[in-house]
Structure 1
């Protein structure tokens, strides 16, 4: 089991990064809540990881905190929720917000997350309500709103030929449908915006 990586951040392309540790580059997928907390390229980063082994692939998922990783592990125990959906859920809400939504049985709020329909939202509430009692915490300011107050030049992605296409690809990787991702990116796009700025504003618009 690979539980923690510490190394040089050599690539960032939401929601995936490459972390070089001892000469080996590890590809790691992160929820956007953790992705935004990464340092600049070329800096040292520490990521808590969850290792998934499938017949056709070996995948690493990374998190900025042990709490977020613990919630990811609880999510994938839920019937019908795989790692990709769990990643999308944690990109749309902070760990504290998700716990609060489940405890409050906020089905409407949960259905706004990528891939989560009414039945899945109800299943999340029923199956996770008791398991999440130890997480607790009050409802925080929506994560996208907190992002709106941060410096948009911090932690920007490496420049890409087309930031809009890059942002759409990231949203699709997180579980949003391509047409919906394209529509919301076109809606929030403005001249000079980076891929990360577009992703931030698109996630805010979808909540």
Structure 2
């Protein structure tokens, strides 16, 4: 099984990339959040999932983040959610937010994601909800708080781990819920370092 791929990105489309590794060039499906982090000509290590089909060629799915692969792997365990739909869902949110929506059994929030209707959201919670029961994700991250999005994206772009950053932001917002985004980032940097 192909579990990883190391190479240089030679082309990026919205959710598809080409990666040159040795004498081979691989095409990989990626979430939009992954492709937004990549640059042509840069070298990356991808976590991969190889999907086999009876009626068409195999497809390779690539993830820069291990967490995104883990959530993708959980999604495809649900009935009627294949790799393409799982990738579409991941393109509409972050792994942390998706886990928070599933853990909090937020059917309405899940239904707003691309490719998910109410029935599919209910089935997703019923079939894989137990996988995220032990997740300690703050309520603020399950909401659509743009401050959290902005602060989390800023911290990740600075090289901090997404999971640790989200927990730190959640802790800060519990103490000071009305904090401005710039102060939220400053406080998070103090606590992470």
TM-score > 0.5, shorter chain as reference: yes
Contact kept in structure 2, 1:93 and 1:143, CA below 8 Å: no
Task: For residue 67 of structure 1, report the CA deviation from its aligned partner.
Answer: 1.6
Q: CA deviation at 1:112?
A: 1.0
Query: Residue by residue, what CA displacement relative to the aligned partner does 1:26-61 show, whole Å, maximum 9, x if unpaired?
Result: 0001111222221x2111112111011112111001
Residues 1:109 and 2:77 are matched in the alignment: no
Match of 1:96 in 2: 96
Higher relative contact order (CA 8 A, sep 6+): 1
Calculate the TM-score normalised by the size of structure 1: 0.66
Does 2:47 match 1:48?
Answer: yes
In the alignment, is the contact (CA less than 8 A) between 2:96 and 2:137 conserved in 1?
yes
Judging changes above 3 Å, is the alpha-carbon distance between structure 1 residues 92 and 54 closer, same or farther for their aligned structure 2 residues? Answer: same
What SS does structure 2 have at the residue aligned with 1:129? helix
d(CA) in 2 for partners of 1:24, 1:122:
42
Aligned pairs, how many? 151
Deviation at 1:109, TM superposition (A): 0.8
Residue in structure 1 matched with residue 6 of structure 2 by the alignment: 6
Deviation of 1:137 (Å): 2.9
TM-score by length of 2: 0.70
Contact 2:103 2:135 in 1 (8 A): no
Structure 1 gap segments, 5+ residues each: 155-207
Query: Counterpart in 1 of 2:118?
Result: 118
Structure 2 residue runs without a partner (length 5+): 158-193
Change (3 A) 1:143 1:33: farther
Greater helix fraction, Structure 1 or Structure 2 = 2
Answer whether contact 2:46 2:62 (CA < 8 A) is retained. yes
- Structure-2 change in CA distance of 1:144 and 1:76 (3 Å): farther
Secondary structure at 1:9 match in 2: strand
CA pair 79-31 structure 1, distance change in 2 beyond 3 A: same
How big is each residue's C-alpha offset from its partner over 1:10-30, in whole Å with a ceiling of 9 and x where there is no partner? 000110000000120000011
Give 1 or 2 for the bigger CA radius of gyration: 2
3-state SS of paired residue (2:87): helix
Range moving further from structure 2, 125-134 or 106-115? 125-134
